[in-house]
Amino acid sequence: MVLRKLGDSAYLYPGSPSTLIKVLEGGEAILIDPGHGSGRHKDLRREVRKLGLEIKAQLATHGHADHVAVAPRINAPLFMHRFEFSVAESPLNRELLTFGSKAPRGFLVFQFPEEVKVHAVFEWNDEPFGVKAIKLNGHSPGMTGFLDEDNGLIYAGDSFFGERVIRSVGLPYLVDPELYKASIMELQNYAENGYLLIPSHGKPVKGEEAIALLDFNLNRVEETESLMLKLLETPLSTDGLAFRIMKRYGVNITPQKLALNLVPVRAFIAQLYNEGKIEALVEDGLRWRVRRD
């Protein structure tokens, strides 16, 4: 894979997720979202050496395994938001967040090859190593984007996704729809001001292309809210609702994709229930339907 240069002091190493290499003074660099894969740590170290640099530290947008699994093999301290460190350090915590309990083997694509250690935490608006941590949660509790003013870019992590990713899975993975939408709108402000936006899963986008992709993410969330209310005219279980949503979006349904979509579907159910739009029924199990006053 070939590094893509972004401005005077940043490079992108492609992948899913991509890794941002930010050049510091004094011949050092930081990695943002080192990623996963059996040889990725070697690839990243090689590319940084080719630039004549040493890796000073690693930053992570959040604690999901596909973003931090190789961090222990890079031999540089790992920093992330304080809401995320327990997710990164505990495979069980990640399973609980993703699946709601300990997951069946093979249901979660990315597993930790070894223990991940978070060396320090930061708060939103802190500026670790010259990049500003900005609040972009909704995908996960402490999801963080990194604003690099020097290069006019934001590494936005999983605060939004490439169109191909969403069409393949069905729903953006999120734990709070309103926070996810708020993060999209925050990113729209940056896009309108000319910043390059880099999702972890998808290509970097700027200008009209960035705004269009953000709109696609936002529209999918808002469409899903409306679709759920239509589907819940007939009582459905959470699993049944997720299945029908995926069918409506033309997704090739697998057990793993269905399990993944159950997370945002539960988040949508909680929101609609709290707004008084749906109600819970005990009808051959727990089911949900549009509220009928």
- What is the tens place of the pLDDT at every residue in 96-111? 777 777 777 766 655 5
| pLDDT given for residue 233 in this prediction | 96
Q: How far apart are CA 120 and CA 133, in angstroms?
A: 14
Q: What is the pTM of this model?
A: 0.93
CA-to-CA separations, 25 to 48, 130, 202, in angstroms, rounded: 14, 10, 29
Q: What is the pLDDT of residues 52-63, one digit of tens each?
A: 999 999 999 999
DSSP state letters, 111-128: --SS-----EEE-TT--G
Domains in the chain (CATH in brackets) are: 4-159 (3.60.15.10)
